[in-house]
Structure 1
Amino acid sequence: MTTSHSLAAEGLTLGYGDRVVVESLDLVVPPGEITVIVGANACGKSTLLRSLSRLLTPREGRVVLDGKEVHRMPAKKLARTLGLLPQSPVAPEGITVLDLVGRGRHPHQGLFSRWNDKDDAAVAAALEATQTTDLADRAVDELSGGQRQRVWIAMALAQQTDLLLLDEPTTFLDVSHQIEVLDLLTDLNRTRGTTIVMVLHDLNLAARYADHLIALADGRLHASGTPAEVLTEDSVRTVFGLDSRIVEDPVSGRPLMLPIGRHHVRPEPTSSPNHMQGTSR
């Protein structure tokens, strides 16, 4: 694996039908780091990820990988460098876990090449990393939502790309498995240098795991940088319309967002004559 691949968006405008979702966006994905995209619902996070992986053609601008437009690259060549786990993927009916994860090896299969020991090893490692080895012979449509999500992540890992894009990889997972998946992706980044870009809804998990944070607001880039630079009270108010307090996470030392709800503000202490100290009898 290498950390030298560069991925960037230049003047990117994206949309569906008559609706513009992302407008005039410029960004650079730092190579070899974990980038997390955050923002309110319908702000363009998933749309941006689809375009970075060339599933969505820009109306204006371009996505550039190592100096080449991704929409002009051969599909299989791109798939050997960049992998995508979309939101809510659908598996073929009746397919087993082993067969689905094995499909992650498709970009590495040439016209005349056959399945080999390297493919077996990649699939086994992906199953082990996601704790799905014991599910290998099960049909994917028989699994729980959390189990299916881990299987999809295993397929993405089996692809063994240098860049990995994930749209809400913690969907359907309980808190314990959310942390396991994010720890797994961090290990992949730290040990293999895999550049990771993912969309997360949980701001505090984003701040804890991101090296680089991107905040979108109304289809535009509001802020990008380290979690400490991006996750501020002003940014949370602008991006999410939410008042908050930002404190230091006692576990990670990263910023921790505490939302302020109308019914959860600690009242100021009040005094009354009935509670005065030293009241005479």
Structure 2
Amino acid sequence: MTTSHSLTAEELTLGYGDRVVVESLDLSVPPGRVTVVVGANACGKSTLLRSMSRLLAPREGRVLLDGKRVHRMPAKELARTLGLLPQSPVAPEGITVLDLVGRGRHPHQGVFTRWNEKDDAAVASALEATRTAALADRSVDELSGGQRQRVWIAMALAQQTDLLLLDEPTTFLDASHQIEVLDLLTDLNRTRGTTVVMVLHDLNLAARYADHLIALAGGRIHASGAPAEVLTEEMVEAVFGLRSRVIEDPVSGKPLMLPLGRHHIRPEPASAGSASSAGSGAPEPAGEPVR
């Protein structure tokens, strides 16, 4: 159970070349919960996940798993506890779905440990959970974008880690499969206690499925906490530059963001005694959209 694991970042600064993407960031992932990271494009979401899974070394600061620096841990030791589904994974040419999902078991193999029934069961369970069992013998190259995404999720599930980081797991998925995958990850969290951290673009899906919501802006944490505390009209405007209305989702009870395009905002009605309605009997001009 992941309630015994802690994942934190301390004074974390990340970047590429001369460009700093994340700066002096402190973060503590609530164990055994679903955390969702949101933010505008290029704000550092994917970069943060890459560093927390040790794919990107920090310029300053550190990432700690149970008090150990992840960038100093043996690869297999880390991979038995923490799994990552990156944003754009690339499969080896010609590999079948079954073989790719089976690679999720690699961290559990050793010099004296061979493939066994437990590995077979983990792969079968992952294929079944993602509804990709019928694709097992097909080449990954032949699959649609949505099918591939579900296969990659199956590989991450087969790894059976206590912490799972997913960068935009609903990419390429239609609305039905998006809900299916997010329900699956929620079930994994509720039944196994798996700590889930994922990046999502859809604010409303993020609010619906998150126990803990983090809003990034300019490589820093703008707000974090329960969805009702984080997803506010003020946050949406500050982080995304978007005017909105936030109401209660009638299905989940979580906050629901309604974007306000400037051509869809009703103008304020003129008051009866206003200057525009007084004087001549000329008709009033149509109200201008609020800007």
TM-score, normalisation: structure 1 = 0.95
**Equivalent residue for 1:220?**
220
1:268, 1:216 → 2: CA distance? 33
2:46 corresponds in structure 1 to 46
Q: Which 4+ runs in 1 deviate beyond 4 A?
A: 268-274
Which residue does the alignment assign to 2:72?
A: 72
Give the 5 Å matches for 1:24-173: 24-173=24-173
**Residue 199 of structure 2 corresponds to which residue in structure 1?**
199
The 3-state SS of whatever aligns with 1:216 is strand
Whole-angstrom CA distance in 1 between matches of 2:105 and 2:228: 38
Provide the identity percentage. 86
Amino acid at match of 1:10: E
RMSD of aligned alpha carbons: 1.5
Cα distance, 1:111 vs. partner? Answer: 1.0
Aligned residues: 275
Write the distance in 1 (CA, Å) between the matches of 2:45 and 2:19.
15
1:241 corresponds in structure 2 to 241
Q: Where do 5+ consecutive residues of structure 2 fail to align?
A: 283-291
Distance in 2 of aligned mates of 1:4 and 1:174: 35
Deviation at 1:265, TM superposition (A): 1.0
Q: Which amino acid aligns with 2:146?
A: G
- Report the CA distance between 1:3 and its aligned residue: 2.0
Deviations 1:197-222 (A, max 9, x none): 00000000000000000110000111
Aligned to 2:255: 255
Provide structure 1 residue ranges, at least 5 long, that are not aligned to the other structure.
275-281
**Residues in 1 aligned to 2:149 and 2:85: alpha-carbon distance in whole angstroms:** 10
- Local SS of the residue matching 2:2: coil
**TM-score, length basis structure 2:** 0.92
Map of 1:187 onto structure 2? 187
CA positional deviation for 1:156: 0.1
* Cα shift at 1:16: 0.2
Q: CA deviation at 1:113?
A: 1.1
Tell me if the contact between 2:167 and 2:198 (Cα under 8 Å) persists in the aligned partners: yes
What amino acid does structure 2 have at the position aligned with 1:254?
A: K
